[in-house]
Each structure stands twice: as C-alpha cells, then as structure tokens.
Structure 1
C-alpha cells in the first residue's frame, strides 16, 4: 500500500499512513518516508503499534542512533541505550516527585532542536508515545518551520546572519528554563559551534539552525547577539510557521532537527503520566549503523554540573 500523506500546513508537517512501521520496509517505502520528511520536515504516524525494539529497528533505517550516557552504577528505566527517556517518570514507572528532575525537564518547554549542543548534530528525532495525559489538559508538542521562516526574512537580515556561527550549550537552555547555574560555569563547559544558516540537504532549501541551546553568536557582543537570537526565534515561531501534535498512545512523530524547532506543551507534570521515548539519528550516518566507536553523550555528561544532572537526581531518589 503506498504512503498516504495529508499536509498539516501547506509546506510543513504531514499526517502519514499506509505503511506498517512494525515490519521491515522496502527501499521504495523508505524513500517514500524520506521524501515526505524532506518535503514537510515533520511526519505524524498514528497508532503505530511499535514496541521498544521495533521503534529502535525502524529508526536504524535512517542512520546511527545516539545512545544515552553511561554512568557507573546508574540504573535506567528503559532497556535500550538507544531510547532517550523523555518522560516524567521515575525508575519504577511512577510520576517523579524529584524537584531536580522536574527542574531539568522545564528546558523541554523552550523552543529547541535536539542535541544542538553536540558537535555531531542530530538529523531525525523519533518520539513514540507510551502514556499521555488525558485530552484537554496539555502535553502536546509544538513544531516550527525554520526553512519557511528563513525564506521570509528580509534581505538585510539574511545578509547579516549568512556567515554567523552560534555557540550552543545544554546548560544555557536549562538556565533559561530556571535552573540555578552560574554563567561562568556554563562558559567553562563544552559548547558546540554551528552556523545559524545552512542548506538543508534533503530539500536544497536554506534553513535557520537556532534554538534555546544557542547561547551566543561568535564574534558578536553578548547582549547584541542574544537579542538577535531572540528576534530570530520569535520570527520563526509566528503562527504561520507553527502547529502542534496532540498525542495518543502508539503515535510516533518524526521530525528533522535540521529544518525545525520544537517544544513541549505545558501540563501538570505532577498529576499525569507522560511516557515518551525518543530515538535520535546522527546527521550524515549510514542506515543500520550499529556502532561508530565513540560515545559523545557519555563524554559530555561526565562533566555535567550536578545541579541539573537528571540521572544523578534519579539515582539520589532511590
């Protein structure tokens, strides 16, 4: 059965059906998926029936999957290191009451791109819903179209940002969300350099690459650069570039971090279980790559400020 694609906005986002993602896909079917992603940036797949293992196997079709950081003696809720835990649950599967864990997750409510704080960028993210809040109480996910947003910038703004490089830090976005981290400490931590504008390979369209992780613009005064970043984010998140996904159990959403931003919607974090599990594909890697020999997330989080360390917070609560 061929892929059925129903656009959400004229150039951004699409509901997709017609393929069984629990089974191996043919080369033609995979091309249909990547063509839809190149065109729309975000695809929504309802009631997929995917298990954790099938989620990981499907994701391998698009490249190497990053792995959650290892910590000596740490316990993890999910069985696969390729699955990032984007839930509000503790190790026992109950709603966490740990204040540090709750504080850390507030950064997810800011407009961001996954792993922009890493030197090796993420292309696709694939988020699967296992438990969601009831209808009408929030917990949706919002997406913004950074290709159309770039296209609509003035010629003067395009010229200003054409060769600019952003400095990206995970701890900066957590600070913006309210975490108590001194800026001097953030400056001492690793930061990733990425151009503010790049050509999206799959479509050939130029796109902004900005978000809450982008702390400064290289070579610009801090205040001036941060004001420019806020201006660009505000521009890219205007209503004409944005839609949201309301989740049901079994839904999978795939988004391309190289031409989108996203953020989590508000909901009562302490009242409703929200079990979301994400795979992330490293940009430029081959399908079904099992191991690249490196482990950049473990390396980065080995130097994590303890005030915002989600894994340490969970371990401490055991």
Structure 2
C-alpha cells in the first residue's frame, strides 16, 4: 500500500498524509517503515492518538520495547517530562536530551525507532531537531570516509550528560559512571548496505587516538553533522505523531522552561541489528 508524503527538508524528514484508522490498523506500516529508513523522520498531523492507539500502532512497526511497567495500562510507555512526580526514574536524566544524541549507544543493539506524541506543550521552546547520520556521512570526502571506517569510539553516560550539567555533584557523576561503556565503530555498516556515522554526545573518545586529536575529530564531525542544511526542526502541535529512525539520526530538544509542564508520550521499538563496522 502506498502513502502520500512530502519531504520536510532536502535531507531529513517527510510528512505523511494518512487516514487515522488505516494507520492504527497497521495496513500502512510496511510503507511507513520503508520511508522512515529513507528519510529518518516521519510526521503526521492531527491524529490525536490515545496511548492505547499509539501502542497498538507501534506494535505494527516492530518489536515494542517494554521497559518497566509502573502502572496498569502503561506497558511500554515512557512519559518524557522534567516533572519527577510524573517520571521519577528518568526525569533527572532528561536535561541530556537538550544535547545532540542517539539513544542507547551504551547497548550492543541500539533501539530501532521511537514513536512520539505530545500531551502538554510549552508556550516557548521545546521544538525537537533531527539530523541524518546517513546524509552527513555521504557528504564527506571519499578519503575521509575510508579513514573513519577504521576508527572505533567509546560511548559513556558521563560523556553524554556532563556537558549538560558540568556543575554536577560527585554522587550524580558516580551514578552516570555506573552505566556500562560501549565501543562502537564510527561508521555503521547497516544490513541494508547503507552506511551512517555513529555520532552522539555520548562519544567519549576515539580508541587509540591521542585525546586532543580525538576531541577535535569528534567535535568537527558533530559540527559537520549539525549544519542547518542537514537539520529538520519540528514545531510541535497537539495531535502530532512523530517517528524517528534512531539508527540513522541524531536528535535533541530545544530549551524550554522546566516548569512548563511539557510532556510527550513515547513508545520505542527494540533494535534489530548490532552496530557493525567494516568486515
């Protein structure tokens, strides 16, 4: 089944125009998945899905990540908010969402995709930005691609969070340090045959490279990947459904007042392939 869509920018994002019932049924999911991998981000406006409908649709797209169910009826649901009363386990980490990142870089198999809807929006700020790690890799010179293909990067929670809270307490830093480190190739060779950069603020250092050179390389690649020509900024509206391919994009939230009540409801699809480099 085909779907009507329009690109949002040259490199990143497409808006789809779909019937609400057909979307929830899963009849469109194969076509949406194909477009998602091509464009990195998919949005549909005016759907106003309930949590149950959003969960049901997510399951038609892949394997729902269950996480820890806190209350009946909240299977797989994560409430994205700074309010620790709403999300006591994760709210204290959400300041890191203001930095460019991929989710799950501390895992061998990062999550495949996330399906997000707004429940409360901030009056100011709170947009979400995305950049394509496929497009930014493809834009590099061939000789640099070949060199980057030889490199591996260590990803850590403290690297991901310290830039967002450099005045952290010793106890906070110790908590971040308790999370596992993970070494990934800098270039992901996907099972589709395509390649993308594995970039994220969580990238601590390049294995075997002098720390100063490692820092400069990762900063340069981050600046390259987040140029305006590669970035799609999503202006949230109530009723939106947004899906992003976590294996081929980075994302970040734009700053907004912590007391704004902003809350997004999120369901995640488990990963489907480990990060692999050149064979």
1:68–1:82 Cα contact (<8 Å) kept: yes
Deviation at 1:89, TM superposition (A): 2.7
Deviation at 1:245, TM superposition (A): 0.4
Residue among 224, 230, 249 paired with 1:241: 230
Rounded to whole Å, the distance in 1 between the matches of 2:49 and 2:154 is 36
**In the alignment, what sits opposite 2:13?**
13
Unaligned runs of 5+ in 1: 71-75, 286-318
**Cα-to-partner distance string for 1:220-259 (whole Å, 9 max, x where unaligned):** 2333222211111110000110010011122111111111
**Deviating more after overlay: 153-162 vs 232-241:** 153-162
Deviation at 1:81, TM superposition (A): 4.0
Helix, strand or coil: the match of 2:20? coil
2:82–2:92 Cα contact (<8 Å) kept: no
**In the alignment, what sits opposite 1:274?**
262
**Cα-to-partner distance string for 1:115-155 (whole Å, 9 max, x where unaligned):** 12222211111111111123xx1110000111111111123
**In the alignment, what sits opposite 1:115?**
104
Residue among 170, 176, 180 paired with 1:190: 180
Helix, strand or coil: the match of 2:247? coil
- Counterparts of residues 32-111 of structure 1 (less than 5 Å): 32-69=31-68, 76=70, 79-91=73-85, 104-111=93-100
Cα 1:42–1:17, aligned 2, differ >3 Å: closer, same or farther?
same
Rounded to whole Å, the distance in 2 between the matches of 1:140 and 1:116 is 23
Rounded to whole Å, the distance in 2 between the matches of 1:213 and 1:77 is 31
Helix, strand or coil: the match of 1:116? coil
Cα 1:190–1:239, aligned 2, differ >3 Å: closer, same or farther?
same
Rounded to whole Å, the distance in 1 between the matches of 2:72 and 2:261 is 16
- Counterparts of residues 102-251 of structure 1 (less than 5 Å): 104-134=93-123, 137-178=124-165, 180=168, 189-202=179-192, 204-251=193-240
In the comparison of the two structures, how many residue pairs are matched?
269
Unaligned runs of 5+ in 2: 274-279
Rounded to whole Å, the distance in 2 between the matches of 1:188 and 1:129 is 32
Rounded to whole Å, the distance in 1 between the matches of 2:217 and 2:129 is 22
Deviation at 1:191, TM superposition (A): 1.0
Rounded to whole Å, the distance in 1 between the matches of 2:169 and 2:4 is 47
Q: TM-score normalized by structure 2?
A: 0.86
Cα 1:69–1:161, aligned 2, differ >3 Å: closer, same or farther?
farther
Helix, strand or coil: the match of 2:6? strand
1:145–1:241 Cα contact (<8 Å) kept: yes
When the two chains are superposed, the root-mean-square deviation of aligned CA atoms in Å is 2.6
Rounded to whole Å, the distance in 2 between the matches of 1:238 and 1:140 is 17
Cα 1:264–1:196, aligned 2, differ >3 Å: closer, same or farther?
same
Cα 1:276–1:2, aligned 2, differ >3 Å: closer, same or farther?
same
**In the alignment, what sits opposite 2:245?**
256
